[in-house]
């Protein structure tokens, strides 16, 4: 067996390097994955998986004190041929795409009462997206959603999160053999919301999964997109954008588990930050297991810091247990929009606020253009413009 | 006719908790259509003059005036100065990640002209300006100054000069770091703009080399924070032969 490699890189705006612990992706978690919240100790904040997260702002999701009782609606709009069901905890289709990796995800799995299951039958090619509108009216909620595509089905799912909530959830994406699923998850919460969610994708043989995570709102948003492969030839593309304003904590922790030969993954997350106490965290774990020969993977994180007082922690982590791979790489960079850039643009007649917008829009557009779905791209650029109008 | 008037300009910078005066009473008038070369040794304050006129926040104007057609330039913000017709080609142009050259050019042209240029004519305009500067069309899709070579950065500055058509252009050591071919192409760009008769040019340089390509009407020697000698092109020949020594020795009175 090839020697495991661990190549942590990171950057913060304070100029120091945040480096992952010397342990492996699996062992540096404080407990192995489990559906049962009792299997996870209550975090104290120094654990590898919690050290960047302000626990006091989780409103008790992490220590069992957050009781469900909030008002959260989940509205699914789906084209004909798609089955939408609300099911009990005992439904056999739940939890097949992955297992909770931390205490809050396990808490969600242990606490939800009803789950929604959206099924696209095999070989159905949807021309309209499935829309899932998650709207909070305050209070704590635990959720579970499943989206499953039969073999060779093709679908786009757009999940919008709005309003105010303290929400912990798991979302399963079960992608059948040869199927193609694109998921756009927009976190457009009110500034008071707390949202902790694990996205589990299980990608079938020769199937492809594309995830676009867009985080603008919330007081604290912490998402754990997880990918595993059920057969050879699977492809995952994980794109993300976040715009972290003053006081917001936005954390994206990805794990792509190459457990199967000849699969691909490409991760690209970009974030812009501004204002005092804006904190973005990006953890990109890629594990290439010994069996996963022929793997091709790349992960990238870029951050643009617009003002003083914002902080980025970016930690890509690649572990390779076989030398027989097609490619593996990662990159992380955090840069500032500084006074010299502002001077340069203004010296060409461009007003200060427009200069800032120009830089941020360009920064995100580069990523948006890779999504490959014109209507989604347009919507995101419009969303970015609106965000910029409101805040920059 | 547009006229830039600099009167008794004193400028200082903050460094290491102390204030250092760099410009010590600069007087200069540049009219539309004229080309002035400002020549001087390193550290004489030439670049400070350029950046002060453009409004860089690092520099503090302690006294004196700068006016453009009687309007107080020093009261204007950086972008207002540009919209009033001032242009600074920088010695060290700044990288702007995420912003393509084409987007940047169009945004600045829109700001300077007060309306977005019509797309069809604009594309032609940019294309032909780039061709004249021997710039690859692919250049337009790169991010502003990111990964540009020294020559590419300077061509990009002159490209902006040509597209923005200012009343007063300040070229801060545009010639430094260029090979002969790039120097010639960049100079041709400056000359094309000059030929319009619409621009007054302030050419700041350390070397006389660029004056083989750009013919100044006036040459000024800059030393110790002020203009210490002024004359016609023959002054550049004298500097070429004798260097700056005469002006940098203690003999120059402040």
**Is B106 within a domain?**
no
Residue A343 touches partner B, C-beta closer than 8 Å: yes
> Are the Cβ atoms of A304 and B78 closer than 8 angstroms?
no
Check residue A71 and give its pLDDT: 95
Taking 70 as the threshold, does the pLDDT of residue A199 lie above it? yes
Q: Which residue out of B54, B90, B97, B161 would a mutagenesis test of the A interface target, given it has the greatest number of A Cβ atoms within 10 Å?
A: B97
Check residue B200 and give its pLDDT: 97
Q: What is the mean pLDDT of residues A117-123?
A: 98
Query: Which residues on chain B are in Cβ contact (under 8 Å) with A344?
Result: 90, 93-94, 96, 144
Check residue B250 and give its pLDDT: 62
How many contacts, defined by CB atoms under 8 Å, are there between A and B?
Answer: 81
Of B79, B93, B143, the CB nearest to A346: B79
Domain ranges of chain A: 5-336, 339-392
pLDDT tens sequence across A127-180: 999 999 999 999 999 999 999 999 999 999 999 999 999 999 999 999 999 999
Q: What is the mean pLDDT of residues B164-191?
A: 95
Residue A119's φ and ψ, nearest 5 degrees, are -120, 130
Tokens standing for A27?
């062992």
Check residue A11 and give its pLDDT: 37
| Domain extent at residue B49 | 3-96+169-248
| Cβ pair A210, A184 in contact under 8 A | no
Query: Which residues on chain B are in Cβ contact (under 8 Å) with A347?
Result: 54-55, 78-79, 81-82, 87-88, 90
Strand extents, DSSP E, A16-113: 72-77, 83-88
pLDDT tens sequence across B51-63: 999 999 999 999 9
Q: What is the DSSP letter of A102?
A: S
Check residue A15 and give its pLDDT: 30
Helix (H, G, I), strand (E, B) or coil at A184: strand
Nearest to A74 by CA among A114, A104, A120: A114
Check residue A307 and give its pLDDT: 86
Query: Which residues on chain B are in Cβ contact (under 8 Å) with A365?
Result: 98
Check residue A24 and give its pLDDT: 55
Tokens standing for B172?
């801060």
Single pTM value for the model: 0.80
Check residue A169 and give its pLDDT: 98
Q: What is the CATH number of the domain that holds B201?
A: 3.40.50.300
Longest Cα separation, chain A: 64
> Are the Cβ atoms of B94 and A344 closer than 8 angstroms?
yes
Average pLDDT over chain A, rounded to whole?
91
- Compute the distance between CA of residue B24 and CA of residue B226 in angstroms, rounded to an integer: 6
> Are the Cβ atoms of A362 and B107 closer than 8 angstroms?
no
Check residue A25 and give its pLDDT: 59
Q: Which residue out of B54, B78, B113 would a mutagenesis test of the A interface target, given it has the greatest number of A Cβ atoms within 10 Å?
A: B78
Check residue B16 and give its pLDDT: 83
Taking 50 as the threshold, does the pLDDT of residue B146 lie above it? yes
Query: Which residues on chain A are in Cβ contact (under 8 Å) with B164?
Result: 348-349
Check residue A27 and give its pLDDT: 54
Check residue A53 and give its pLDDT: 98
Question: β-pairing, A114-120 with A83-88?
Answer: antiparallel
Tokens standing for B77?
């913000």
Residue with tokens 């071919």: B181
**Is B55 within a domain?**
yes
- Compute the distance between CA of residue A18 and CA of residue A273 in angstroms, rounded to an integer: 18
Taking 90 as the threshold, does the pLDDT of residue B199 lie above it? yes
Of B93, B100, B111, the CB nearest to A349: B111
Check residue A386 and give its pLDDT: 85
Q: Which residue out of A303, A335, A348, A367 would a mutagenesis test of the B interface target, given it has the greatest number of B Cβ atoms within 10 Å?
A: A348
pLDDT tens sequence across A365-389: 889 988 888 888 888 888 888 888 8
Cα dihedral sign, A335-A336-A339-A345: positive
Could you give the number of structural domains in chain B?
1
Cα–Cα distances (Å) from A189 to A136, A220, A386, in that order, read 9, 10, 14
At residue A242 the predicted structure's pLDDT band, cuts being 50, 70 and 90, is very high
Q: What is the mean pLDDT of residues B164-169?
A: 97
> Are the Cβ atoms of A358 and B160 closer than 8 angstroms?
no
**Is B27 within a domain?**
yes
Check residue A361 and give its pLDDT: 87
Residue A352 touches partner B, C-beta closer than 8 Å: yes
DSSP A287-344: EE-TT-TT-EEEEEEEEEE-STT-EEEEEEEEEES-S--SEEEEEEEEEE--HHHHHH
Q: What is the mean pLDDT of residues B22-43?
A: 96
pLDDT tens sequence across A17-76: 333 334 355 556 778 999 999 999 999 999 999 999 999 999 999 999 999 999 999 999
Check residue A21 and give its pLDDT: 37
At residue B252 the predicted structure's pLDDT band, cuts being 50, 70 and 90, is very low
> ipTM higher than 0.85?
yes
Residues 6+ away with beta carbon under 8 Å from B118: none
Helix (H, G, I), strand (E, B) or coil at A198: strand
């Amino acid at each position: 067996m090839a020697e495991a490699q661990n190549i942590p890189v990171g950057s913060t705006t304070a100029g120091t390097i945040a480096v992952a612990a010397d342990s492996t992706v699996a062992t540096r978690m404080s407990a192995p994955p489990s559906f049962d919240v009792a299997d996870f100790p209550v975090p104290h904040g120094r654990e590898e998986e919690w050290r960047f997260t302000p626990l006091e702002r989780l409103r008790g999701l992490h220590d069992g004190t957050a009781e469900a009782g909030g008002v959260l609606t989940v509205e699914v709009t789906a084209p004909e041929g798609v089955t939408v069901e609300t099911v009990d905890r005992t439904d056999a289709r739940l939890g097949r795409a992955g297992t909770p990796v931390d205490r809050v995800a396990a808490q969600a799995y242990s606490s939800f009462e009803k789950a929604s299951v959206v099924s696209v039958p095999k070989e159905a090619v949807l021309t309209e997206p499935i829309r899932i509108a998650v709207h909070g009216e305050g209070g704590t909620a635990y959720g579970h959603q499943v989206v499953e595509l039969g073999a060779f089905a093709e679908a786009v799912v757009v999940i919008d999160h709005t309003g105010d909530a303290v929400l912990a959830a798991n979302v399963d994406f079960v992608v059948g053999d040869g199927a193609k699923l694109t998921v756009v998850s927009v976190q457009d919460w009110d500034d008071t919301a707390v949202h902790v969610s694990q996205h589990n994708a299980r990608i079938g043989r020769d199937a492809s999964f594309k995830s676009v995570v867009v985080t603008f709102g919330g007081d604290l948003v912490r998402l754990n997109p997880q990918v595993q492969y059920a057969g050879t030839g699977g492809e995952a593309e994980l794109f993300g954008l976040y715009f972290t304003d003053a006081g917001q904590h936005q954390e994206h922790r990805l794990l792509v588990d190459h457990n199967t030969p000849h699969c691909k993954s490409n991760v690209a997350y970009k974030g812009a930050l501004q204002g005092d106490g804006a904190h973005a965290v990006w953890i990109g774990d890629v594990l290439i297991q010994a069996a996963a020969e022929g793997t091709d993977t790349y992960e990238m994180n870029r951050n643009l810091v617009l003002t003083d007082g914002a902080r980025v922690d970016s930690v890509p982590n690649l572990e390779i247990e076989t030398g027989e791979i097609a490619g593996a790489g990662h990159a992380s960079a955090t840069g500032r929009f500084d006074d010299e850039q502002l001077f340069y643009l203004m010296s060409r007649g461009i007003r200060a606020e427009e200069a800032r917008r120009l830089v941020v829009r360009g920064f995100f557009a580069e990523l948006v253009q890779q999504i490959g779905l014109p209507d989604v791209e347009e919507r995101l650029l419009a969303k970015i413009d609106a965000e910029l109008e409101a805040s920059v | 006719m547009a006229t830039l008037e600099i009167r008794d300009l004193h400028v200082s910078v903050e460094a290491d908790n102390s204030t250092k005066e760099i410009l010590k009473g600069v007087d200069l008038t540049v009219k539309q259509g004229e080309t002035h070369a400002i020549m001087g040794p390193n550290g004489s304050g030439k670049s400070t003059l350029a950046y002060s006129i453009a409004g860089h926040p690092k520099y503090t104007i302690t006294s004196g005036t700068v006016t453009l057609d009687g309007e107080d330039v020093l009261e204007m913000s950086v972008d207002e100065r540009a919209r009033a017709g001032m242009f600074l080609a920088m010695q060290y142009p700044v990288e702007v990640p995420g912003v393509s050259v084409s987007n940047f050019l169009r945004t600045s042209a829109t700001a300077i002209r007060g309306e977005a240029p019509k797309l069809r004519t604009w594309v032609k305009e940019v294309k032909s300006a780039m061709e004249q500067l021997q710039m690859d069309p692919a250049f337009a899709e790169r991010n502003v100054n990111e990964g540009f070579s020294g020559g590419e950065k300077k061509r990009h500055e002159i490209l902006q000069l040509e597209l923005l058509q200012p009343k007063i252009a300040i070229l801060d050591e545009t010639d430094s770091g260029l090979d002969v071919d790039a120097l010639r192409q960049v100079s041709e760009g400056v000359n094309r703009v000059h030929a319009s008769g619409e621009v007054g040019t302030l050419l700041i340089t350390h070397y006389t080399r660029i004056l083989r390509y750009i013919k100044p009407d006036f040459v000024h020697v800059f030393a110790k924070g002020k203009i210490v000698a002024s004359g016609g092109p023959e002054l550049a020949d004298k500097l070429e032969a004798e260097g700056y020594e005469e002006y940098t020795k203690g003999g120059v009175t402040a």
